[in-house]
Structure 1
Amino acid sequence: MTVLEAVVDRGAARDALVATPNDDGRARRFADFPTFCDALDFAAQGLRGFNFHDPRGTLVRPYPFSELRADALIAARRLVAHGVQPGDRVALVAETGPEFAALFCGAMYAGAWPVPLPLPTSFGGKENYIDQLCVQLGSSDPRMLLFPGELATMCAAAAERHGCPGLTWEAFAEVAPADTALPDPDPDAISYLQYSSGSTRFPHGVAVTHRALMANLAGHAHGMGFVEGDRCISWLPWYHDMGLVGCFLSPIANQMSADYLRTEDFARRPLAWLDLISRNQGASLSYSPTFGYDICARRISSQTHVAERFDLSRWRIAGNGADMIRPDVMQGFVNAFAPAGFKAAAFLPSYGLAEATLAVTIMPPGEGIRVELVEEERLSGTPRDLSRPARYRAIVNCGVAVRGMEVQIRGEDDKPVSHHHIGKVWCRGSSVMHSYFRDPESTAACMVDGWLDTGDMGYLNAEGYLFIVGRAKDMIIINGKNHWPQDIEWAVEQLPGFHQGDIAAFSVEAENGEETPAVLVHCRVSDPAERLKLREAIREKVRAITGMNCVVELVPPRTLPRTSSGKLSRSKAKKLYLTGEIEPYQLAA
């Protein structure tokens, strides 16, 4: 066979692949199962399943739930043959693909706790990734670490440093399955261990029971109003709660076919996500943090014939979550893709966190992005300065509590406050975590009488809709006044050439011992004189909008670190800046 014939043959084989269907004639059950194993047993009786695509959105592997279940049961018996017992942790590098899916579900069938760990990012390099794995291995103390072959060097080094066996997918597939009965799943047993996206130096492994998982999967299915014919499209990583729970476990428990791009493929070609939605009949559900919508809108030029390339008219729910929702970015996406049939009412803001399994609140479908303008003084908790014009920030409505969840706003005395008063967001319900793994002190610090302190600040309106204003730990307190880093970052973004993610704001200690705000900004100009002008323009913009003087440091592009879910990590940026690992450009005085 010639090279050309081989290429044609492979192309014909791909063309012959058929994706799993949207519907198969079986009535859908909304995660009303005792355990996730029961959910997969039921899903495997139908024809729906996962579908994996290459960087250009071409289908390369249909994976029906029936095949996933068969592979998971074999994986469970291989784990047992390797000495894994109920309650053991099995660490898995969460590459989007059938191998991880089967191993994750197989660990559950074996009674073990799968622990999804991140893939390497472009920031930090090889040694930083090995260090991150070692920290999370040390926290979860797994029986073994399993990983894709292309990461063997780094993952094997981390496993050896921790002292646990490390095997590639391929090596594990050579293990002979044990001929033994698998344990009966227990609804109150831990189903998996989830590390939040910010888990680095002091990781918190969130332990989630089967009962809590199923409650959250049912809650968000009802909240989002899943209907027959719905289909999920996702590029979100499976090591983050929104990707893992919302876009991997939910399609199984709610029997929905799903199509996947790898996260790294989306990062290189973001518009492949919208191409996949356009080509896929019934592709009606897809979630993204704000930056995903932002990068797609910025990739479209005014010369692009959007209506000819995309068809987004079937996109019923365009979910927003995992970071602060920016109404200006959402409007930019609508402006860019309305010609392709995208409807602003499809946006579905939500709020959640790993400690609540995933969803806490969800906007009722069809209500879109709704905002309230809140005075700066209300956000900072200080009296109104009548000598200055009032300034406002648009706060996005994140919806109402999902089924089985309560939300409460508490003041500094930990007592509930009335509607429209800003305070800490607490939640209680059937899907709140069991605990932080082997960390009773941290568990006790955030769990009180069944209520979870989320660490976020917000308020409820009279109708029970939740508005998030920021994270308590990110707040910058200068001279007794509260400042939100988002406001400082937004001020810089108003200057030409800056986008979301280019700026990190936090407080540092000045030479006189007082706290002062600092701003790190990605700089794309090389002329020293222009850099000086840029620094002064940034300083003046922040002063004009916030009334504060600040330290401005220009740093090389792609310097600011992100969490595993793609969010800007202000805490890590501050740490790297203070330790000298982020080196600002040296400018003349």
Structure 2
Amino acid sequence: MTDLAEPIVSPATAADADHTILDALEAAALSPEGFNFHSGKGVLTTALPYSQLVADAQALAARLLGAGLKPGDCVALIADTEPDFVRLFFACSYARIVPAPMPLPMAFGGREAYLAHVRRMIECADAHAAFAPAAMRDWLVEAAAGLPLALVGTIEDLAAVEPAPGELSRPAPDDFAYLQFSSGSTRFPKGICVTHRALMANATGISRHGLVVREGDRCVSWLPFYHDMGLVGFMLTPIVAGLTVDYLATRDFARRPLLWLELIARHKATISYSPSFGFELSAQRAATLDLGDLDVSSWRCAGIGGDMIRPHVLRRFADRFRRHGFDLDRYVASYGMAEATLALTFAPLGEGLKAETVDLDRLESEGVATAPGAEGARSREFVLCGPALPDHEIEVRSPDGAALPERRVGRVFARGPSLMREYFREPEATAETISPDGWLDTGDLGYFADGQLVITGRAKDLILVNGRNVWPQDLEWTVEAEIEGVRSGDVAVFSVDSQDGEEVVALVQCRTSAEEARAALVEQVGTLLRLRFGTPVTVRLVGAHALPVTSSGKLSRSRARALYLSLQADGA
């Protein structure tokens, strides 16, 4: 079992509503802790102590103001895993400017699609400047061409800017700490406004109650800074807790996933998180390798979040690395979302992976989570994600808004000090998501079991791809726009449950009976979506006008999914 010691928390992490992330950074700067950045070969390239980060960020803040930016402005930051992103992020904070982390190109994504996506995000944020890593400067300049920005470039471009005179003013607790873009639609991105107050509430809850940070803890992360789990979980919360973090870029993890574990072993790290697919990729890569004396026994909190948790994947990982000091009791299941800053629940430390198998027929037809009633009955295993963090509330509600008892499936709502204030300049979307009395509609379905939240799926059409929420229309529009002969409304994308988790399916209307042309279309659609979105897609062709639509003529994905399942059942 995990040793539960009293939490060790830096001075700025006391539950004080008036603290900001800068207070936490300056408290952490009194220690030798900081951020360490490693190459794709695991070599330390940059050590950035918190004390140095404070000095660098303050100097850059004066130059941002000298460039004509003003407190309250937003600055877009392409969020590579490098020290300059961190320096610029905190420079914005010291200048009372709002940083907006933005994604890197996907490994197999198209250049033009990425540039268009970044441009939309810059426009959505109403950014007044934009910065990128040196290697991406030309891309950013092209993406921002014609936009009214005071500065577009890299951190080096600030060297030529004369610093603004005078002292830097401090942000207030209710100022925006950053703008986090939802990872859903690329056509209509939404900016999530997180205040310093909400950030500090969440980071304090994570460090004091979720992970129970203690003397000697150390983190390792490969999660991207533009995702809430990477940004909040492994950049901002470690500052609040006064911990050192060793970073590996996400692209380097994808190439060499076992380097993640090597860094944990080398630095005796105790805390590291991943979506299920990260554990799966590591176990697959290690399946036939001799890992020698690799020792990850220091890893006390192996967090899981960012996607639907797949217990069979986690058991496979534990089985593979048990001889290297890992076991099931190290897992810490959790649940959250960017709209809640990051975390809403944590499974109790030391209990490890707790899952239960429920009758899938009753779950689907009655909304009740019970044990399978007969041998051979359809079933599914779900993981318990723990109770709500202190000062937070979670309710599971029926369609009429009534709170449901345990083991009744409903829509998950949350309330507490970590919630976002609003979607940036999206009052209608904000009103649809947060009620006047402060309850957040998470868009997820779940139930309570023994006081712990269990997530069963998405209430809406969102599809989970490698830890990212992807809107199905993004896949549909991509096929319609890039494959000759496919018309608007010809594609329906949705997900179904399979033995390996979530299976993404695309139904495509086809107007030819020629076998060669049909086979080529299936291959084209599957290859395009795999390369663009990083996931395998099951492609099925249907006849012209076969896709169901609503009475208003809109595509009905729920009925398209039912059509696919009926075809599967019929063996068609």
Which residue identity does 1:372 align to in structure 2? E
Q: Give the equivalent residue in structure 2 for 1:399.
A: 386
Structure 1's unaligned 5+ residue stretches are 1-25, 477-483, 494-499, 512-527, 533-550, 571-577, 580-588
- Out of 136, 139, 142, the position equivalent to 2:127 is 142
For 2:358 and 2:523, the matched residues in 1 are separated by 29
1:20-44 deviation digits (Å, cap 9, x = unpaired): xxxxxx9734723511111111111
1:188-246 deviation digits (Å, cap 9, x = unpaired): 11111000222411111000110000000001112211111000000000000000000
Q: Would you say 1:197 and 2:183 are equivalent positions?
A: yes
Q: Would the aligned equivalents of 2:505 and 2:537 in 1 still touch at CA under 8 Å?
A: no
Q: Would you say 1:69 and 2:54 are equivalent positions?
A: yes
- Out of 328, 331, 355, the position equivalent to 2:339 is 355
Which residue identity does 1:298 align to in structure 2? Q
For 1:295 and 1:316, the matched residues in 2 are separated by 20
Comparing 171-180 with 203-212, which one deviates more in the overlay? 171-180
- Out of 340, 353, 376, the position equivalent to 2:360 is 376
| Structure 2 CA distance for partners of 1:254 and 1:27, relative to 1, 3 Å | closer
Q: Give the equivalent residue in structure 2 for 1:215.
A: 201
Which residue identity does 1:346 align to in structure 2? R
SS in 2 for 1:123: coil
Spell out the pairing of 1:84-103 with structure 2 (5 A cutoff): 84-103=69-88
Q: Would you say 1:339 and 2:339 are equivalent positions?
A: no
For 1:118 and 1:383, the matched residues in 2 are separated by 37
SS in 2 for 1:560: helix
Cα offset for 1:567?
Answer: 8.3
Q: Give the equivalent residue in structure 2 for 1:106.
A: 91
Which residue identity does 1:450 align to in structure 2? G
- Out of 260, 265, 272, the position equivalent to 1:286 is 272
SS in 2 for 1:173: helix
SS in 1 for 2:144: helix
Q: Would the aligned equivalents of 2:276 and 2:309 in 1 still touch at CA under 8 Å?
A: yes
Q: Give the equivalent residue in structure 2 for 1:178.
A: 164
Cα offset for 1:53?
Answer: 0.6
SS in 2 for 1:193: strand
For 2:65 and 2:334, the matched residues in 1 are separated by 39
Cα offset for 1:408?
Answer: 0.4
Cα offset for 1:568?
Answer: 8.6
Q: Would the aligned equivalents of 1:160 and 1:166 in 2 still touch at CA under 8 Å?
A: no
Which residue identity does 1:64 align to in structure 2? P
Q: Give the equivalent residue in structure 1 for 2:409.
A: 422
CA RMSD of aligned residues (A): 3.1
Comparing 167-176 with 270-279, which one deviates more in the overlay? 167-176
1:143-168 deviation digits (Å, cap 9, x = unpaired): 10011111112111111143323112
For 1:355 and 1:411, the matched residues in 2 are separated by 22
Which residue identity does 1:229 align to in structure 2? G
Q: Give the equivalent residue in structure 1 for 2:530.
A: 560
| Structure 2 CA distance for partners of 1:568 and 1:431, relative to 1, 3 Å | farther
Q: Give the equivalent residue in structure 1 for 2:224.
A: 237
| Structure 2 CA distance for partners of 1:454 and 1:298, relative to 1, 3 Å | same
| Structure 2 CA distance for partners of 1:259 and 1:466, relative to 1, 3 Å | same
Q: Give the equivalent residue in structure 1 for 2:569.
A: none
| Structure 2 CA distance for partners of 1:375 and 1:562, relative to 1, 3 Å | farther
Cα offset for 1:301?
Answer: 2.9
For 1:431 and 1:351, the matched residues in 2 are separated by 13
Q: Would you say 1:40 and 2:25 are equivalent positions?
A: yes
Aligned length: 492
For 1:139 and 1:305, the matched residues in 2 are separated by 49
For 1:149 and 1:177, the matched residues in 2 are separated by 22
Which residue identity does 1:118 align to in structure 2? P
**TM superposition outliers: structure 1 runs of 4+ over 6 Å:** 383-388, 506-511, 551-554, 566-570
| Structure 2 CA distance for partners of 1:410 and 1:552, relative to 1, 3 Å | farther
TM-score of the superposed pair, with normalisation by structure 1? 0.78
Q: Would the aligned equivalents of 2:529 and 2:536 in 1 still touch at CA under 8 Å?
A: no
1:77-97 deviation digits (Å, cap 9, x = unpaired): 111101111111011011111
Which residue identity does 1:103 align to in structure 2? L
1:504-547 deviation digits (Å, cap 9, x = unpaired): 13678899xxxxxxxxxxxxxxxx99x99xxxxxxxxxxxxxxx
| Structure 2 CA distance for partners of 1:363 and 1:195, relative to 1, 3 Å | same
Q: Give the equivalent residue in structure 1 for 2:472.
A: none
| Structure 2 CA distance for partners of 1:219 and 1:568, relative to 1, 3 Å | farther
SS in 1 for 2:141: helix
| Structure 2 CA distance for partners of 1:87 and 1:199, relative to 1, 3 Å | farther
TM-score of the superposed pair, with normalisation by structure 2? 0.80
Q: Give the equivalent residue in structure 2 for 1:9.
A: none
Cα offset for 1:366?
Answer: 1.1
Which residue identity does 1:505 align to in structure 2? V
Q: Would the aligned equivalents of 1:123 and 1:559 in 2 still touch at CA under 8 Å?
A: no
1:456-476 deviation digits (Å, cap 9, x = unpaired): 110112x32000011111389
Which residue identity does 2:530 align to in structure 1? L
Cα offset for 1:75?
Answer: 1.3
SS in 1 for 2:498: helix
Q: Would the aligned equivalents of 2:88 and 2:155 in 1 still touch at CA under 8 Å?
A: no
SS in 2 for 1:473: coil
1:345-395 deviation digits (Å, cap 9, x = unpaired): 001110000000000001111111111212222332359999995211101
- Out of 435, 438, 458, the position equivalent to 2:446 is 458
| Structure 2 CA distance for partners of 1:568 and 1:552, relative to 1, 3 Å | closer
For 2:240 and 2:418, the matched residues in 1 are separated by 15
SS in 2 for 1:236: coil
| Structure 2 CA distance for partners of 1:157 and 1:398, relative to 1, 3 Å | same
Q: Give the equivalent residue in structure 1 for 2:456.
A: 469
| Structure 2 CA distance for partners of 1:243 and 1:27, relative to 1, 3 Å | closer
For 2:537 and 2:207, the matched residues in 1 are separated by 30
For 2:9 and 2:509, the matched residues in 1 are separated by 60
Q: Would the aligned equivalents of 2:360 and 2:379 in 1 still touch at CA under 8 Å?
A: yes
For 1:30 and 1:80, the matched residues in 2 are separated by 27
Which residue identity does 2:283 align to in structure 1? A
Q: Would the aligned equivalents of 1:90 and 1:113 in 2 still touch at CA under 8 Å?
A: yes
Q: Would you say 1:413 and 2:400 are equivalent positions?
A: yes
| Structure 2 CA distance for partners of 1:159 and 1:272, relative to 1, 3 Å | same
| Structure 2 CA distance for partners of 1:177 and 1:334, relative to 1, 3 Å | same
Cα offset for 1:69?
Answer: 0.6
1:85-122 deviation digits (Å, cap 9, x = unpaired): 11110110111111110110110111111000001112
Spell out the pairing of 1:493-512 with structure 2 (5 A cutoff): 493=500, 503-505=503-505
1:320-349 deviation digits (Å, cap 9, x = unpaired): 000000001001101111111112100111
Q: Give the equivalent residue in structure 2 for 1:158.
A: 143
Q: Would the aligned equivalents of 1:371 and 1:396 in 2 still touch at CA under 8 Å?
A: yes
Q: Would the aligned equivalents of 1:237 and 1:263 in 2 still touch at CA under 8 Å?
A: yes
Which residue identity does 2:336 align to in structure 1? G
| Structure 2 CA distance for partners of 1:403 and 1:552, relative to 1, 3 Å | farther
Q: Would you say 1:130 and 2:112 are equivalent positions?
A: no
Structure 2's unaligned 5+ residue stretches are 1-7, 464-492, 539-546, 548-554, 556-571
For 1:568 and 1:442, the matched residues in 2 are separated by 31
Which residue identity does 2:446 align to in structure 1? G
Q: Would the aligned equivalents of 1:30 and 1:221 in 2 still touch at CA under 8 Å?
A: no
Q: Give the equivalent residue in structure 2 for 1:269.
A: 256
For 1:474 and 1:404, the matched residues in 2 are separated by 30
| Structure 2 CA distance for partners of 1:408 and 1:391, relative to 1, 3 Å | same
